[in-house]
Structure 1
Amino acid sequence: MMNLADLTTPYLLLDPDKMRANIARLQSHMADLNVPLRPHVKTAKSVDIVRRLFPTGSGPITVSTLKEAEYFGAHGFDDMTYAVGISPDKLPRVARLIRSGVRLSVLLDSKAQAEAVVAFAKRDNLALPVLIEIDCDGERAGLRQGDGKIVEIARILHENKQFMGILMHAGGSYHCPDKAAKEAAAEHERETAVAVRDELLAAGLPCDVVSVGSTPTAHFAKDLTGVTEVRAGVYVFHDLVMAGIHVCKLEDIAISVVATVIGHRPDKGWIMTDAGWMALSRDRGTAKQEVDQGYGLVCAMDGTPYTDLIVTNTSQEHGVLSIRKGSKAKLPKLEVGSKVRILPNHACATASQFDGYVVPDGDDLVYWPRINGW
């Protein structure tokens, strides 16, 4: 048996009870709306976690890298959407996955990509399903509703029996702090998707897949009529960005970085730890929110946040803890060797700094590996 005090810091701690509650919350909401969930595994990147999303099955899932697709394919997941625009050089890896038995859909938003995919599929005699990416809010890649290229590209793909449907991500929902704004973002995402589907149907083109999703819109959608699936990923853990826009509470955040106090700078009001940006990442996703959490919110080992104590600066292996600017709180007494937990701004970015999760399991600890890279 090991205990947390035996482990070398920094390490990534996962609270399985909080994770299970987060999973159950969104699954229940999707069940109420009668729409299947295609979880985005880019946050967890661990089969030990993703299996807990499917207690009686193995998918469907969304991936962000082909390495994820290969990893999850090797563990029996055989229905995937690769939700990053396809580049022609990756098509041979896609082909190998499909030939191994994985149903892998790819994503694109240009005629050049469509023609490259069609040519490759013909040359390799390959059934390669394709989704067209739609931009619903100006936040990322994709074609806007009403753009004639949507029908043109869909027709190229349909004539070669490759067109499956459309996919979009409401990235703008990450800037919606109040409930009404998140609900409006979810409805706008749905309305855009349905309008594009109707344009395709009017042009005589089938559109079997209407895929939408982001963690905020998934949680705040009130109506998903016309949508065939929802994608979300960070909901499994949540993070300070999600807490900052009131998708979750601080106590819902399931992962934290455990760090050790290694020194003090009383002249500057600093406590130094061994968790710098190599552990926490450089993500500053809360910087423009109502409450700026620096590089992470500092908690005691029982998960209780210290009043206004945040990671205000980082270098590669050093983290600087200090009191939030403007606060009248006092630095806690944390001696050298003390352990703290740091809640992450962006769960995906912070988790990617580690090779796996330390998970309390009753009186023992287990280690769940994860993959990184492309």
Structure 2
Amino acid sequence: MDIETPAALIDEARMAANIDRMQLHLTALGVRLRPHVKTSKCIEVARRQQEAGAQGITVSTLKEAEQFFAAGFSDILYAVCMAPDKLDRALALIRRGCALTILVDSVPAAEAVVAKGKAEARAFDVMIEIDSDGHRSGVQPEAADLIEIGTILQAGGQRVKGVLTHAGSSYDLDTAEALEKLAEQERALCVRAAERLRTAGIACPEVSVGSTPTALAARNLAGVTEVRAGVYVFFDLVMSNVGVCTPGQVALSVLATVIGHQAEKGWVIVDAGWMAMSRDRGTQRQKIDYGYGAVCDAAGHVLDGLVVSGANQEHGIVSRRDGTADPDVVERFPIGTRLRLLPNHACATGAQYPNYLAVASDGSATVWPRFQGW
């Protein structure tokens, strides 16, 4: 391929297989898939998810909501708790016809939404975030605050669309049994929160759960209406360590060029440092530490034992993961050799690039723009 490096490549065949796998699994369980597009931030990728059967999208920034709405995506869930100073921006989207759902997890946030809704004579669609695993944010399913938040919203003329949770602690697991147990915990606690709201007379039509590991591990989604997952579209090395994919299923890679060697150390120097791979070292505390990334040949086949063991801003060091010096690296990887590097965290690596190069099975490549910022 005549491509200037470093470049972010999408293996279209792998991506399509990843999309189909998640869609078929959730369709069989009788729930909608609302993919989280923060992973790709790319219209072309999201369109392929919709074509496979996904319904609506999840975003993590209002810029994502604006960009995707401009491209024709109208059913959008903004899955970050709403800051009051962003309500005007959200309202501007709604007034243009976007079916935007926003998120709160506290009484003050609910009160701010009600105040803005009354001032603008507008009813927002609001979901309440539930903490199902102590990982990040959200209201405990049995907390009194849950009913108070729902009451404030409903009495204030806002629509309580439902409850939402994200079992982010699934990234810390690595067995099928543990993942299935957490998926059931995520489901049961979010459904319980919805039941409490309904018993209190608060409408709660939607129950939204999901992370890529728990979505794939789920065997029972009774009471759930939709699942959100994001990184499955590309997968990455963290997900490989979790056990929901293999390195050979990772669809995103960074194309790099060999620019030098330190033969006595068994090092190959490439033109992709931490600016190309990101500083994410998410595999460092997992069962296999891939450094800054795993190494593949130009066709995408994993080269066992090789990792990006070190990185400066624009230099990457490829060496053996076990620390032994490979004596023939100069002959195996001469100057100019192309390598593909698999990322630890696809979202973070993708964020380093303004475009992807989507590589088809015939080797042709198409530029797919992605966007950045907030």
Name the aligned partner's letter for residue 371 of structure 2.
I
Quick one: percent identity of the two aligned structures? 49
Q: CA deviation at 1:56?
A: 7.7
The residue that corresponds to 2:113 in the other structure is 117
Pick closer, same or farther for the CA change 1:176–1:261 going to 2, 3 Å: same
Residue 155 (structure 1) aligned to one of 148, 151, 157: 151
Gaps of 5+ in 2: none
The residue that corresponds to 2:128 in the other structure is 132
Is 1:304 the counterpart of 2:301 in the alignment? yes
Gaps of 5+ in 1: none
Equivalent pair of 2:33/2:54 in contact (CA under 8 Å):
no
Residue 246 (structure 2) aligned to one of 228, 245, 249: 249
Q: CA deviation at 1:208?
A: 0.9
Name the aligned partner's letter for residue 373 of structure 1.
G
RMSD of the TM alignment (CA)?
1.5
Once the two structures are superposed, the pairs formed by residues 271-350 of structure 1 within 5 Å of their partners are 271-325=268-322, 332=329, 333-350=332-349
Equivalent pair of 1:323/1:330 in contact (CA under 8 Å):
no
Alpha-carbon distance in 1 for matches of 2:327, 2:241: 23
Equivalent pair of 2:266/2:327 in contact (CA under 8 Å):
no
Alpha-carbon distance in 1 for matches of 2:223, 2:286: 33
The residue that corresponds to 1:145 in the other structure is 141
Is 1:70 the counterpart of 2:66 in the alignment? yes
2:33 aligned counterpart, secondary structure: coil
C-alpha distance after superposition, 1:206-243 (max 9, x if no partner):
21111000000100100000001000000000000111
The residue that corresponds to 1:105 in the other structure is 101
Alpha-carbon distance in 2 for matches of 1:213, 1:66: 20
Is 1:236 the counterpart of 2:233 in the alignment? yes
The residue that corresponds to 2:372 in the other structure is 372
Name the aligned partner's letter for residue 336 of structure 1.
I
Name the aligned partner's letter for residue 81 of structure 2.
G
Residue 216 (structure 1) aligned to one of 190, 213, 216: 213
Q: CA deviation at 1:273?
A: 0.9
Pick closer, same or farther for the CA change 1:329–1:198 going to 2, 3 Å: farther
Is 1:268 the counterpart of 2:265 in the alignment? yes
C-alpha distance after superposition, 1:125-178 (max 9, x if no partner):
222111111111111111112111010011000112321111100011111101
Pick closer, same or farther for the CA change 1:56–1:290 going to 2, 3 Å: closer
Alpha-carbon distance in 2 for matches of 1:331, 1:244: 29
The residue that corresponds to 2:180 in the other structure is 183
Q: CA deviation at 1:7?
A: 1.3
Alpha-carbon distance in 2 for matches of 1:363, 1:175: 36
The residue that corresponds to 2:5 in the other structure is 9
Alpha-carbon distance in 2 for matches of 1:176, 1:331: 37
